[in-house]
Amino acid sequence: MITNAAAVSRSGEPGYRVLLRNGVDLKFLMAPEHGFTLDYEAGQNVGNAGVGDSLKIWSLYGDSRKPDISLLKTIDALVFDLQDAGVRCYTYLSTMKLAMEACNEAGVTFMVLDRPNPIAPLPASGFVLEPRFESFVGAAELPFIHGMSVGEIAEWLQKRRFPGLSLQIVRMQGYRRDRFADDLPGFRFRPPSPSLHDFKTLLLYPATVMLEGTDVSEGRGTDTPFRMFGAPFIDSKTLIQELETYRLPGVEFHRTSFTPERSKFSGVECQGVRLKVIDRDHFDPFLASTAILLSLQKLWPEETGLHRHADFFDKLAGTSRYRLMIQQQRPIGEILAVARGQVRAFDVAYRGRFLYP
């Protein structure tokens, strides 16, 4: 079973224990980035471990990120039970894709215990990944905000890449894609990783995560990562004045300062901006992200460092086109039109991708 501490039942019981209690002969566990106990930071290698019930935990974010084929040949089915974040760069999707590939090679059934996409009401948006930019932060040719559950993505991947794979999806009951996770009856959102520790952060994550591909702090090393951003070279007042020219719906910008305890600018005071979502039904994270990047590039093109981090930024974006348009200071409407055109084409090509109304 590929799982972690966020994968629990409605009563809060760990999912793997639910299987054991119901007589499933569970042989071992596997854990993705952040580890089984969710106490590893982003990008930090995770070693193998053990857990109560005498189960071995094999790491899928250490020496190898793909399940061992010889290990899979000792079982009948590999169960995937992880809470996703709804954004393509979140690495649990890459873990799932590699696990599906391994199961296909081993002749083992892959079973997904589906869970809600917590930000499903947000329209699919952002650039669709180009195949040459596929990486561990870009699993496949999906829009940046994809609007799909992990079960829906698994079925989509199987049809496109693993047609011979035995895939079983345990569907959710009562799920509606027009509701955010905290509005779903009977569902309690559990933070899927250390930096996404509440729903407010999760909602802002797709608006600020692209800053990981710059020299601007996305707030890691503070109590509110992804809900604010900044750098020592930023003038908050000037930046907010620039951002307000875009008249972004559903979000406010406030001046702030912070000193990260780790990650970028560790121990150095940063001036920046705190985001506050005031109307999530109208908030557009990709629009906000684009406005932030255009503003930073306009005001501090050298210090923002897009040119220094082009390779990683392009992997996050799924294309080099986004970065180039930001650097060229193309009008925001032009950038959005290109991305929306790609999303429309994706929607037409894969109209049957949803499992739920």
188 — alpha (psi -120 to 50), left (phi > 0) or beta?
beta
CATH number of the domain where residue 256 is located = 3.90.1150.140
Per-residue CA distances from 286 to 122, 225, 283, 332, 340 (Å): 10, 18, 9, 11, 11
Judgement on whether residues 41 and 159 belong to the same structural domain of the protein? yes
Predicted pLDDT of residue 43: 87
Predicted pLDDT of residue 154: 98
**Residue 133 three-state SS:** helix
Judgement on whether residues 16 and 40 belong to the same structural domain of the protein? yes
Judgement on whether residues 79 and 178 belong to the same structural domain of the protein? yes
Judgement on whether residues 144 and 233 belong to the same structural domain of the protein? no
Work out the percent of the chain whose per-residue pLDDT is above 70: 100
Judgement on whether residues 203 and 186 belong to the same structural domain of the protein? no
Domain coverage including residue 261: 199-340
Question: Tens digits of per-residue pLDDT, 151-162?
Answer: 999 999 999 999
CATH number of the domain where residue 37 is located = 3.40.50.12170
Judgement on whether residues 184 and 326 belong to the same structural domain of the protein? no
Burial of 71 per CB tally in 10 Å (0-12, 13-18, 19+): middle
Judgement on whether residues 16 and 61 belong to the same structural domain of the protein? yes
Question: Tens digits of per-residue pLDDT, 132-151?
Answer: 999 999 999 999 999 999 99
Judgement on whether residues 189 and 223 belong to the same structural domain of the protein? no
Cβ atoms 115, 172 nearer than 8 A: yes
| Dist. CA 149–CA 84, nearest whole Å | 8
Judgement on whether residues 258 and 157 belong to the same structural domain of the protein? no
Instruction: Return the sign of the alpha-carbon dihedral for residues 266, 269, 275, 276.
Output: positive
pLDDT band at 57 (very low <50, low <70, confident <90, very high): very high
Cβ atoms 203, 277 nearer than 8 A: yes
Judgement on whether residues 186 and 203 belong to the same structural domain of the protein? no
**Other beta carbons less than 10 A from residue 206's beta carbon:** 26
Question: Tens digits of per-residue pLDDT, 232-287?
Answer: 999 999 999 999 999 999 999 999 999 999 999 999 999 999 999 999 999 999 99
Judgement on whether residues 242 and 188 belong to the same structural domain of the protein? no
Question: Tens digits of per-residue pLDDT, 89-133?
Answer: 999 999 999 999 999 999 999 999 999 999 999 999 999 999 999
Is the pLDDT at 288 greater than 90? The verdict is yes
Smallest Cα–Cα separation from 41: which of 214, 212, 267? 212
Is the pLDDT at 188 greater than 90? The verdict is no
| Dist. CA 12–CA 24, nearest whole Å | 19
Judgement on whether residues 334 and 221 belong to the same structural domain of the protein? yes
Written as six digits, the tokens of 302 are: 């050298």
Total domains in the fold of the chain: 2
Burial of 76 per CB tally in 10 Å (0-12, 13-18, 19+): exposed
Predicted pLDDT of residue 201: 96
